Amino acid sequence: MLDGLSDIKNRIVSSSAEEVVASYLERIEKSNINAFTCIAEDAIEQAKKVDSLDIEGPLAGVPIAIKDNISTKGLSTTCSSAILEGYVPPYDAHVIERLRKAGAVIIGKSNMDEFGMGTSTETSTYGPTLNPWDTERVAGGSSGGSAAAVAAGQVPVSLGSDTGGSVRCPAAFCGAVGLKPTYGAVSRYGLVSYANSLEQIGPLANRVEDVAALMDVIGTYDNRDSTCVKHNAGYTDTLQDGVDGLKIGVPDEYFGEGIDDNVQKLVWDAIGKFEDMGAEYTKVSMPNTPYALAAYYIIAMSEASSNLARFDGTRYGNRSEGENWHMMASKTRQEKFGAEVKRRILLGTYALSAGYHDKYYLKALKVRTLVKQDFERAFEDVDVLMAPTMPTPAFKIGEKMDDPLSLYLSDVNTVPINLAGVPSISVPCGFSEGLPVGLQVIGNYFDEATILKAAHSFEKNTDHHTKLAAEVV
């Protein structure tokens, strides 16, 4: 079984933070799964500082991987894109400030799909991250490096970001636990924007209690993010309360065409386990779910078109040479952006163009409101919703890269959550042909405590999280 935060804290007490961090660095060096874009050269120095100053923060000496689109002062942040090669931020994101204050050791930046655009981490300029369970398969995306590093025991915890499932997808594919918090629960200050209205920073770990512990650290108000909301946290306070009397809603639309039979069976088995623990379930209808995927991609691509306009080689990052500014900016974007990023910029620009704005973008916003109302109606009668995180287990590397629409369809069960802004957690619920499958537990706004409690109760009463992925790397 992989170490959790409590195990690591005990190891630090019995030895030192330096020794613990060194052991993880050695594990990363021996790995072949390409989970990191860079390793922090001062990781050992950070650990020594914890030892010498006797820092007692809740994460003192704990090594953590940070997705490569979260700003880290003095440490390369490239979004796994050639256009940001060599960019070193002059400031820390809010979540990084909180982690440093808690004593965590930033061990490195984790690989991702370029600018978060992908479901497999195959669009990274550094190459794909490999799944620890089967290195011929994808780790999921876009936070594939963060999930794979956790599942392979290279770090105990990590941070990712979730725009349409980018924490939950790789968590499901790699057999980790991944939380997408309520929109506004965690500050996005310092997160490189892809789609502002959809994305949220979220934690990954091998245990639900460790995800909750990370949320206690990062889930605080920050006035530098105008969308950040003041709310009562205490994510670890009710973990042990159990699920007796919990009302579960099961949306029919999340078990439709395209969802693998084995995945459906494992999720229904998990719901049966909740019944054994005293919960009850009822089927619910979310009729606008079939339109969510199309609405999501129109909104996300439109926002990406606007956000990525800043990357022109002028202010930061990499650039190509040109005889004037226009040629330089044009060549930089042509040569340094990958194919998927270009595709989404073009489609987003088209959706926002005169004559098409109302036909596509405005209509997508209306659908988003309908999806949100589906969730609001459902939560009038139930406490949580449960469904498969992903329609299939991890697919093979290269299998879907030539078919973007097939890749986009993989997000069918995750994007509605981002459109609505509600929280959701993926927790392992079994294995299909030796590959992990994730159960998605969805909660009401700012009710992370209930989905964490449910996931923790399920985890305690099953053994899915105890199998060591590192054995197959």
pLDDT digits (tens, 9 = 90+) for 326-360: 999 999 999 999 999 999 999 999 999 988 999 99
Q: Which two tokens stand for residue 229?
A: 């909301």
> Backbone dihedral region of 67: left (phi > 0), alpha (psi from -120 to 50 degrees) or beta?
beta
Q: Which residue has the tokens 């990062």?
A: 218
pLDDT digits (tens, 9 = 90+) for 391-427: 999 999 999 999 999 999 999 999 999 999 999 999 9
Helix (H, G, I), strand (E, B) or coil at 192: coil
> Backbone dihedral region of 93: left (phi > 0), alpha (psi from -120 to 50 degrees) or beta?
beta
Q: Please give the Cα distance from 266 to 264 (Å, whole number).
A: 6
Q: Which pLDDT score, from 0 to 100, does residue 49 have?
A: 95
Q: Please give the Cα distance from 176 to 411 (Å, whole number).
A: 18
Q: Tell me whether residue 226 is exposed, middle or buried, using C-beta atoms within 10 angstroms of its C-beta: 0 to 12, 13 to 18, 19 or more.
A: exposed
pLDDT digits (tens, 9 = 90+) for 79-97: 999 999 999 999 999 999 9
Residue 473 has pLDDT above 70, yes or no: no
pLDDT digits (tens, 9 = 90+) for 155-175: 999 999 999 999 999 999 999
Higher pLDDT, 139 or 256: 139
- Annotated catalytic residues are 67, 142, 166
Residue 467 has pLDDT above 70, yes or no: no
Residue 464 binned pLDDT confidence (cut-offs 50, 70, 90): low
Q: Structural domains in the chain?
A: 1-472 (3.90.1300.10)
pLDDT digits (tens, 9 = 90+) for 264-281: 999 999 999 999 999 999
Percent share of the chain, pLDDT over 70: 98
Mean pLDDT of the chain, nearest integer: 95
Q: Which pLDDT score, from 0 to 100, does residue 470 have?
A: 45
DSSP assignment of 341-381: HHHHHHHHHHHHSTTTIIIIIIHHHHHHHHHHHHHHHHTTT
pTM over 0.85: yes
Residue 259 has pLDDT above 50, yes or no: yes
Amino acid at 366: K
